[in-house]
Amino acid sequence: MKGLRINSIYLLLICLIGSGTLLAERLKKKENVPVDKKATTETKALYSNLKKIQENHILVGHHDATLYGHTWAGDDNRSDIKDVCGSHPALIGFDFAMVTNKPSDMTTQRSELLLRRMIETYNRGAVITMCWHTDNPLTGETAWVDTTKAVVNTVKELLPGGSAHEAYKNKLILIAGMAKKARGADGKLVPIIFRPFHEMEGGWFWWGRPHRTIEEFITLWRFTVGYLRDTLGVHNFLYAFSTDCKFKTREEYLIDYPGDKYVDILGMDEYWDFRPDGANNPLLAAEKVKIVSDLAHEKDKIAALTETGLESITDSTFFTKTLLPVLRYKGSKMAYVMLWRNDDHMKHHFYAPFPGHNSVPDFIKFYNEEYTLFENDLKRIYK
Protein backbone atom coordinates (compact mmCIF):
# COMPACT_ATOMS: atom_id res chain seq x y z
CA MET A 1 0.00 0.00 0.00
CA LYS A 2 2.82 2.37 0.89
CA GLY A 3 4.54 1.77 -2.44
CA LEU A 4 1.24 2.29 -4.24
CA ARG A 5 0.69 5.57 -2.38
CA ILE A 6 4.20 6.80 -3.24
CA ASN A 7 3.59 5.98 -6.90
CA SER A 8 0.28 7.85 -6.78
CA ILE A 9 1.94 10.91 -5.25
CA TYR A 10 4.70 10.70 -7.87
CA LEU A 11 2.14 10.57 -10.69
CA LEU A 12 0.27 13.51 -9.16
CA LEU A 13 3.47 15.56 -9.07
CA ILE A 14 4.21 14.71 -12.69
CA CYS A 15 0.69 15.79 -13.66
CA LEU A 16 1.05 19.04 -11.73
CA ILE A 17 4.43 19.76 -13.32
CA GLY A 18 3.02 18.95 -16.74
CA SER A 19 0.01 21.18 -16.14
CA GLY A 20 2.32 23.98 -15.03
CA THR A 21 4.38 23.59 -18.19
CA LEU A 22 1.26 23.68 -20.35
CA LEU A 23 0.00 26.73 -18.47
CA ALA A 24 3.34 28.47 -18.97
CA GLU A 25 3.20 27.73 -22.70
CA ARG A 26 -0.36 29.02 -22.91
CA LEU A 27 0.58 32.18 -21.02
CA LYS A 28 3.54 32.65 -23.33
CA LYS A 29 1.28 32.40 -26.37
CA LYS A 30 -1.34 34.63 -24.76
CA GLU A 31 1.35 37.29 -24.31
CA ASN A 32 1.52 37.51 -28.12
CA VAL A 33 4.30 40.09 -28.38
CA PRO A 34 7.17 40.54 -30.86
CA VAL A 35 10.83 40.00 -29.97
CA ASP A 36 11.11 43.70 -29.14
CA LYS A 37 9.22 43.96 -25.85
CA LYS A 38 9.41 47.76 -26.13
CA ALA A 39 7.83 47.78 -29.58
CA THR A 40 5.40 50.61 -30.23
CA THR A 41 1.69 50.01 -29.78
CA GLU A 42 1.16 50.08 -33.55
CA THR A 43 4.00 47.59 -34.15
CA LYS A 44 2.57 45.20 -31.57
CA ALA A 45 -0.85 45.57 -33.18
CA LEU A 46 0.59 44.75 -36.60
CA TYR A 47 2.29 41.67 -35.17
CA SER A 48 -0.92 40.48 -33.53
CA ASN A 49 -3.10 41.20 -36.56
CA LEU A 50 -0.75 39.43 -38.97
CA LYS A 51 -1.01 36.32 -36.80
CA LYS A 52 -4.79 36.58 -36.93
CA ILE A 53 -4.86 37.23 -40.67
CA GLN A 54 -2.79 34.15 -41.52
CA GLU A 55 -5.45 31.89 -40.03
CA ASN A 56 -7.91 32.52 -42.87
CA HIS A 57 -6.45 35.09 -45.27
CA ILE A 58 -3.26 36.36 -46.85
CA LEU A 59 -2.00 39.86 -47.66
CA VAL A 60 -0.86 40.26 -51.27
CA GLY A 61 2.23 42.43 -51.65
CA HIS A 62 4.47 43.83 -54.39
CA HIS A 63 8.03 45.13 -54.13
CA ASP A 64 8.61 48.82 -54.96
CA ALA A 65 4.96 48.96 -56.08
CA THR A 66 4.47 52.72 -55.66
CA LEU A 67 7.96 53.83 -56.72
CA TYR A 68 7.69 52.70 -60.36
CA GLY A 69 5.92 50.27 -62.67
CA HIS A 70 6.27 48.59 -66.04
CA THR A 71 5.98 51.81 -68.06
CA TRP A 72 6.25 54.61 -65.49
CA ALA A 73 8.26 55.94 -62.54
CA GLY A 74 7.63 58.49 -59.81
CA ASP A 75 3.86 58.93 -60.26
CA ASP A 76 1.98 59.68 -57.07
CA ASN A 77 -0.58 57.23 -55.67
CA ARG A 78 0.03 54.76 -58.49
CA SER A 79 0.95 51.10 -58.77
CA ASP A 80 0.57 48.59 -61.58
CA ILE A 81 -1.64 46.49 -59.33
CA LYS A 82 -3.91 49.47 -58.64
CA ASP A 83 -4.07 50.16 -62.37
CA VAL A 84 -5.29 46.59 -62.87
CA CYS A 85 -7.75 46.01 -60.03
CA GLY A 86 -8.41 49.38 -58.38
CA SER A 87 -6.46 48.78 -55.18
CA HIS A 88 -2.83 49.01 -54.17
CA PRO A 89 -1.33 45.82 -52.74
CA ALA A 90 -1.88 45.27 -49.03
CA LEU A 91 1.87 45.12 -48.43
CA ILE A 92 4.60 47.07 -50.23
CA GLY A 93 8.27 46.15 -50.14
CA PHE A 94 11.10 48.67 -50.26
CA ASP A 95 14.88 48.49 -49.82
CA PHE A 96 17.05 50.15 -47.19
CA ALA A 97 19.83 50.11 -49.79
CA MET A 98 18.36 53.42 -50.96
CA VAL A 99 19.42 54.84 -47.60
CA THR A 100 22.74 53.10 -46.93
CA ASN A 101 24.32 52.59 -50.37
CA LYS A 102 26.23 54.93 -52.62
CA PRO A 103 24.14 56.34 -55.49
CA SER A 104 23.81 53.93 -58.39
CA ASP A 105 21.31 52.91 -61.05
CA MET A 106 19.36 51.06 -58.35
CA THR A 107 19.36 53.94 -55.89
CA THR A 108 18.78 57.07 -57.98
CA GLN A 109 15.40 57.56 -56.30
CA ARG A 110 16.84 58.33 -52.93
CA SER A 111 15.84 58.38 -49.31
CA GLU A 112 13.45 61.35 -49.38
CA LEU A 113 11.17 59.67 -51.91
CA LEU A 114 11.46 56.38 -50.03
CA LEU A 115 10.46 58.04 -46.77
CA ARG A 116 7.49 59.71 -48.41
CA ARG A 117 6.27 56.44 -49.96
CA MET A 118 6.65 54.60 -46.65
CA ILE A 119 4.59 57.21 -44.82
CA GLU A 120 1.95 57.25 -47.56
CA THR A 121 1.65 53.48 -47.36
CA TYR A 122 1.10 53.63 -43.60
CA ASN A 123 -1.39 56.50 -43.88
CA ARG A 124 -3.46 54.45 -46.34
CA GLY A 125 -3.47 51.54 -43.86
CA ALA A 126 -1.17 49.15 -45.74
CA VAL A 127 1.95 47.32 -44.52
CA ILE A 128 5.64 48.10 -45.20
CA THR A 129 8.44 45.54 -45.46
CA MET A 130 12.08 46.45 -46.04
CA CYS A 131 14.80 44.21 -47.45
CA TRP A 132 18.44 45.34 -47.50
CA HIS A 133 20.69 44.81 -50.52
CA THR A 134 23.47 46.55 -48.67
CA ASP A 135 26.83 47.30 -50.24
CA ASN A 136 29.66 45.32 -48.70
CA PRO A 137 30.84 47.38 -45.68
CA LEU A 138 34.30 45.80 -45.95
CA THR A 139 35.05 46.16 -49.67
CA GLY A 140 32.58 48.80 -50.83
CA GLU A 141 31.39 46.48 -53.58
CA THR A 142 27.73 45.63 -54.20
CA ALA A 143 25.69 43.09 -52.28
CA TRP A 144 26.23 40.62 -55.12
CA VAL A 145 29.55 38.79 -55.39
CA ASP A 146 31.57 37.49 -58.29
CA THR A 147 31.66 33.77 -57.58
CA THR A 148 34.28 33.20 -60.27
CA LYS A 149 36.76 34.75 -57.86
CA ALA A 150 37.68 34.13 -54.23
CA VAL A 151 35.12 35.80 -51.97
CA VAL A 152 36.36 37.42 -48.78
CA ASN A 153 34.65 36.54 -45.48
CA THR A 154 32.93 39.85 -44.84
CA VAL A 155 30.59 38.67 -42.06
CA LYS A 156 33.52 37.88 -39.79
CA GLU A 157 34.88 41.42 -40.20
CA LEU A 158 31.52 43.02 -39.32
CA LEU A 159 31.41 41.42 -35.88
CA PRO A 160 32.70 43.24 -32.77
CA GLY A 161 36.47 43.46 -33.08
CA GLY A 162 36.36 43.06 -36.87
CA SER A 163 37.99 45.54 -39.24
CA ALA A 164 34.64 46.70 -40.68
CA HIS A 165 32.61 46.67 -37.47
CA GLU A 166 32.40 50.46 -37.20
CA ALA A 167 31.51 50.79 -40.88
CA TYR A 168 28.71 48.31 -40.36
CA LYS A 169 27.40 50.16 -37.32
CA ASN A 170 27.35 53.36 -39.37
CA LYS A 171 25.02 51.69 -41.86
CA LEU A 172 22.72 50.59 -39.04
CA ILE A 173 22.71 54.16 -37.73
CA LEU A 174 21.45 55.33 -41.14
CA ILE A 175 18.66 52.72 -41.01
CA ALA A 176 17.72 53.79 -37.48
CA GLY A 177 17.60 57.40 -38.60
CA MET A 178 15.16 56.56 -41.38
CA ALA A 179 13.04 54.41 -39.05
CA LYS A 180 12.70 57.28 -36.58
CA LYS A 181 11.81 59.81 -39.28
CA ALA A 182 8.98 57.61 -40.53
CA ARG A 183 5.94 59.05 -38.76
CA GLY A 184 2.43 58.91 -40.10
CA ALA A 185 -0.21 61.62 -40.23
CA ASP A 186 -1.26 60.46 -36.76
CA GLY A 187 2.21 61.28 -35.41
CA LYS A 188 2.98 57.62 -34.74
CA LEU A 189 6.11 55.77 -35.85
CA VAL A 190 5.49 53.66 -38.93
CA PRO A 191 5.81 49.90 -38.19
CA ILE A 192 8.29 48.21 -40.54
CA ILE A 193 9.00 44.56 -41.25
CA PHE A 194 12.81 44.48 -41.56
CA ARG A 195 14.16 41.55 -43.59
CA PRO A 196 17.98 41.63 -43.64
CA PHE A 197 20.37 39.03 -45.09
CA HIS A 198 17.72 37.24 -47.15
CA GLU A 199 18.48 34.13 -49.24
CA MET A 200 21.42 33.53 -46.93
CA GLU A 201 22.02 29.92 -47.92
CA GLY A 202 22.90 30.90 -51.48
CA GLY A 203 26.26 32.16 -52.67
CA TRP A 204 25.21 35.24 -54.66
CA PHE A 205 25.34 37.71 -51.73
CA TRP A 206 28.38 38.48 -49.57
CA TRP A 207 26.49 37.14 -46.52
CA GLY A 208 25.83 33.81 -48.25
CA ARG A 209 26.61 30.53 -46.53
CA PRO A 210 29.61 29.63 -48.74
CA HIS A 211 31.41 32.80 -47.66
CA ARG A 212 31.22 32.58 -43.83
CA THR A 213 30.42 30.15 -41.04
CA ILE A 214 26.98 29.46 -39.60
CA GLU A 215 28.08 30.75 -36.21
CA GLU A 216 29.35 34.02 -37.70
CA PHE A 217 26.06 34.61 -39.49
CA ILE A 218 23.99 33.94 -36.38
CA THR A 219 26.22 36.25 -34.33
CA LEU A 220 25.85 39.02 -36.94
CA TRP A 221 22.05 38.63 -37.00
CA ARG A 222 21.82 38.80 -33.22
CA PHE A 223 24.16 41.80 -33.08
CA THR A 224 22.09 43.59 -35.75
CA VAL A 225 18.80 43.11 -33.88
CA GLY A 226 20.38 44.01 -30.54
CA TYR A 227 22.14 47.12 -31.86
CA LEU A 228 19.05 48.50 -33.59
CA ARG A 229 16.70 47.64 -30.74
CA ASP A 230 18.76 48.10 -27.57
CA THR A 231 21.48 50.60 -28.53
CA LEU A 232 19.82 52.76 -31.21
CA GLY A 233 16.33 52.50 -29.70
CA VAL A 234 14.46 51.39 -32.82
CA HIS A 235 11.12 50.06 -31.60
CA ASN A 236 9.01 50.03 -34.76
CA PHE A 237 10.57 46.93 -36.37
CA LEU A 238 9.41 43.36 -36.76
CA TYR A 239 12.27 41.07 -37.83
CA ALA A 240 11.83 38.63 -40.72
CA PHE A 241 14.12 35.67 -41.42
CA SER A 242 13.83 34.55 -45.05
CA THR A 243 15.80 31.84 -46.76
CA ASP A 244 15.92 30.99 -50.43
CA CYS A 245 14.16 27.81 -51.59
CA LYS A 246 17.19 25.52 -51.57
CA PHE A 247 16.08 23.66 -48.42
CA LYS A 248 14.18 20.37 -48.58
CA THR A 249 13.62 19.68 -44.88
CA ARG A 250 12.79 21.67 -41.76
CA GLU A 251 16.29 20.95 -40.46
CA GLU A 252 17.86 22.48 -43.57
CA TYR A 253 15.59 25.51 -43.29
CA LEU A 254 16.79 26.18 -39.74
CA ILE A 255 20.55 25.87 -40.39
CA ASP A 256 21.17 29.64 -40.15
CA TYR A 257 18.23 30.40 -37.86
CA PRO A 258 19.36 32.84 -35.13
CA GLY A 259 16.77 31.77 -32.55
CA ASP A 260 13.21 32.59 -31.51
CA LYS A 261 14.35 35.60 -29.47
CA TYR A 262 15.56 37.34 -32.63
CA VAL A 263 12.89 36.54 -35.23
CA ASP A 264 9.22 37.52 -35.57
CA ILE A 265 8.51 36.20 -39.06
CA LEU A 266 9.63 33.00 -40.77
CA GLY A 267 9.75 33.38 -44.53
CA MET A 268 11.20 32.08 -47.76
CA ASP A 269 11.92 33.46 -51.22
CA GLU A 270 10.68 31.21 -54.01
CA TYR A 271 11.37 31.64 -57.71
CA TRP A 272 13.32 28.57 -58.79
CA ASP A 273 10.58 25.99 -58.42
CA PHE A 274 8.22 28.09 -60.59
CA ARG A 275 10.69 28.86 -63.38
CA PRO A 276 10.51 26.98 -66.69
CA ASP A 277 14.32 27.17 -66.76
CA GLY A 278 14.48 26.09 -63.10
CA ALA A 279 12.84 23.20 -61.27
CA ASN A 280 9.52 23.97 -63.01
CA ASN A 281 7.67 22.07 -60.29
CA PRO A 282 5.20 24.07 -58.14
CA LEU A 283 4.68 21.04 -55.91
CA LEU A 284 8.22 21.54 -54.59
CA ALA A 285 7.31 25.12 -53.70
CA ALA A 286 4.14 23.94 -51.99
CA GLU A 287 6.00 21.44 -49.81
CA LYS A 288 8.43 24.16 -48.69
CA VAL A 289 5.60 26.58 -47.96
CA LYS A 290 4.10 23.89 -45.75
CA ILE A 291 7.42 23.45 -43.89
CA VAL A 292 7.67 27.18 -43.17
CA SER A 293 4.00 27.39 -42.18
CA ASP A 294 4.28 24.46 -39.77
CA LEU A 295 7.48 25.79 -38.18
CA ALA A 296 5.95 29.22 -37.67
CA HIS A 297 2.89 27.66 -36.05
CA GLU A 298 5.04 25.55 -33.72
CA LYS A 299 7.15 28.56 -32.75
CA ASP A 300 4.10 30.82 -32.42
CA LYS A 301 5.47 33.09 -35.16
CA ILE A 302 4.22 34.63 -38.39
CA ALA A 303 4.81 32.85 -41.71
CA ALA A 304 5.26 34.53 -45.10
CA LEU A 305 6.26 33.93 -48.69
CA THR A 306 8.59 36.93 -48.62
CA GLU A 307 9.46 37.04 -52.34
CA THR A 308 8.02 35.13 -55.26
CA GLY A 309 6.58 35.24 -58.74
CA LEU A 310 7.09 34.17 -62.33
CA GLU A 311 9.20 36.59 -64.34
CA SER A 312 7.29 38.02 -67.32
CA ILE A 313 4.24 36.02 -66.12
CA THR A 314 4.63 33.59 -69.02
CA ASP A 315 1.65 31.59 -67.72
CA SER A 316 -1.52 33.70 -67.98
CA THR A 317 -3.24 31.68 -65.22
CA PHE A 318 -0.27 31.66 -62.85
CA PHE A 319 -2.01 33.43 -59.98
CA THR A 320 -5.11 31.24 -59.59
CA LYS A 321 -3.88 27.94 -61.02
CA THR A 322 -0.34 27.85 -59.59
CA LEU A 323 0.32 30.42 -56.85
CA LEU A 324 -3.01 30.13 -55.02
CA PRO A 325 -2.86 26.32 -54.61
CA VAL A 326 0.76 26.60 -53.42
CA LEU A 327 -0.20 29.14 -50.75
CA ARG A 328 -3.05 26.93 -49.47
CA TYR A 329 -1.30 23.58 -49.81
CA LYS A 330 -2.37 21.12 -47.10
CA GLY A 331 -3.75 23.89 -44.91
CA SER A 332 -0.66 26.11 -45.01
CA LYS A 333 -1.14 29.44 -43.28
CA MET A 334 0.85 32.49 -44.31
CA ALA A 335 0.28 36.13 -43.39
CA TYR A 336 1.53 37.57 -46.66
CA VAL A 337 2.99 36.86 -50.08
CA MET A 338 5.09 39.45 -51.90
CA LEU A 339 5.55 39.51 -55.66
CA TRP A 340 8.84 40.91 -56.90
CA ARG A 341 9.10 44.22 -58.72
CA ASN A 342 8.03 45.52 -62.13
CA ASP A 343 11.09 47.23 -63.58
CA ASP A 344 10.49 50.34 -65.69
CA HIS A 345 13.65 49.81 -67.79
CA MET A 346 14.03 46.03 -68.21
CA LYS A 347 10.76 45.30 -69.97
CA HIS A 348 10.95 41.54 -69.39
CA HIS A 349 11.46 42.00 -65.63
CA PHE A 350 8.00 42.11 -64.08
CA TYR A 351 6.11 39.87 -61.66
CA ALA A 352 2.73 41.61 -61.27
CA PRO A 353 0.35 42.33 -64.15
CA PHE A 354 -0.15 45.73 -65.73
CA PRO A 355 -2.97 46.95 -67.99
CA GLY A 356 -3.00 45.05 -71.27
CA HIS A 357 -1.08 41.99 -70.09
CA ASN A 358 -2.80 38.66 -70.78
CA SER A 359 -2.65 37.67 -67.09
CA VAL A 360 -4.97 40.52 -66.03
CA PRO A 361 -8.23 38.47 -66.11
CA ASP A 362 -6.65 35.78 -63.96
CA PHE A 363 -5.22 38.33 -61.52
CA ILE A 364 -8.64 39.94 -61.11
CA LYS A 365 -9.98 36.50 -60.16
CA PHE A 366 -7.10 36.24 -57.70
CA TYR A 367 -7.99 39.71 -56.37
CA ASN A 368 -11.65 38.74 -55.93
CA GLU A 369 -10.83 35.62 -53.89
CA GLU A 370 -12.10 35.94 -50.33
CA TYR A 371 -8.75 34.51 -49.18
CA THR A 372 -6.59 37.29 -50.70
CA LEU A 373 -6.44 40.74 -49.14
CA PHE A 374 -5.41 43.97 -50.84
CA GLU A 375 -5.07 47.48 -49.43
CA ASN A 376 -8.78 48.26 -49.86
CA ASP A 377 -9.59 45.23 -47.68
CA LEU A 378 -7.51 46.33 -44.69
CA LYS A 379 -9.21 47.82 -41.66
CA ARG A 380 -7.39 48.99 -38.54
CA ILE A 381 -4.35 46.72 -38.97
CA TYR A 382 -2.42 49.03 -36.63
CA LYS A 383 -5.09 48.93 -33.92
Confirm if 297 and 331 have CB atoms less than 8 A apart.
no
Is residue 178 over pLDDT 90?
Answer: yes
pLDDT reading at 169 higher than 60? yes
| Residue-range domain boundaries for the chain | 1-27, 40-377
Element (H, E) at 193: strand 192-195
Which whole number is the average pLDDT over 271-300? 97
20 band by pLDDT with thresholds 50, 70 and 90? low
* Residue 274 main-chain phi, psi, to 5 deg: -95, -20
The neighbouring-strand residues paired with 192 are 237
Fold of the domain built from segment(s) 40-377:
TIM Barrel (3.20.20)
Nearest to 93 by CA among 229, 239, 193, 223: 193
What confidence category does residue 26 fall into, taking pLDDT thresholds of 50, 70 and 90?
very low
- Residue 111 confidence class, pLDDT cut points 50, 70, 90: confident
- Which residues have C-beta within 8 Å of that of residue 167, sequence separation ≥ 6? 137, 138
**Which amino acid belongs to residue 180?**
K
Q: What is the pLDDT at residue 252?
A: 98
Q: What digits encode the pLDDT tens for the residues 44-98?
A: 999 999 999 999 999 999 999 999 999 999 999 999 999 999 999 999 999 999 9
124-135 pLDDT tens trace: 999 999 999 999
In degrees to the nearest 10, what's the CA dihedral of 86, 89, 95, 98? Answer: 20
**pLDDT at site 318:** 98
**Mean pLDDT over each residue of the chain, to the nearest integer:** 92
This prediction has a pTM of 0.91
Beta bridge partners of 302: 265
- Secondary structure element (H or E) that encloses residue 181, with its range: helix 165-181
Q: At what angle do helices 111-124 and 165-181 cross, to 10 degrees?
A: 50
Across the range 147-175, mean pLDDT stands at: 96
Gap between the Cα atoms of 196 and 265, Å rounded: 12
What is the pLDDT averaged over residues 176-205? 98
Classify residue 152 by its DSSP letter.
-
> Percent of the chain beyond pLDDT 90?
88
The radius of gyration computed from the CA coordinates of the chain, to the nearest angstrom, equals 22
Do β-strands 91-95 and 127-131 pair in parallel, antiparallel, or remain unpaired? Answer: parallel
What confidence score (pLDDT) does residue 212 get? Answer: 98
Residue 211 pLDDT class (50, 70, 90 cuts): very high
- For residue 107, pLDDT beyond 60: no
Distance CA 310, CA 259 (A): 31
CA–CA separation, 252 vs 267, rounded Å?
14
Indicate if the pLDDT at residue 15 is higher than 90: no
Distances (CA, A) of 69 to 151, 204, 345: 34, 26, 9
Percent of the chain with pLDDT over 70: 90
Going by the DSSP 8-state scheme, the letter that residue 354 receives in this structure is -
CA–centroid distance for 301 within its chain: 12
Q: Assess whether pLDDT exceeds 80 at residue 217.
A: yes
Tally: H helices and E strands in the chain: 12, 9
Q: How many CB atoms lie within 10 A of CB 228?
A: 22
d(CA 330, CA 220): 35
- Name the band, by pLDDT with cuts 50, 70 and 90, for residue 106: low
- Look at residue 5 and tell me whether its pLDDT is greater than 50: no
Judged against a pLDDT cut of 90, whether residue 108 lies above it is answered with: no
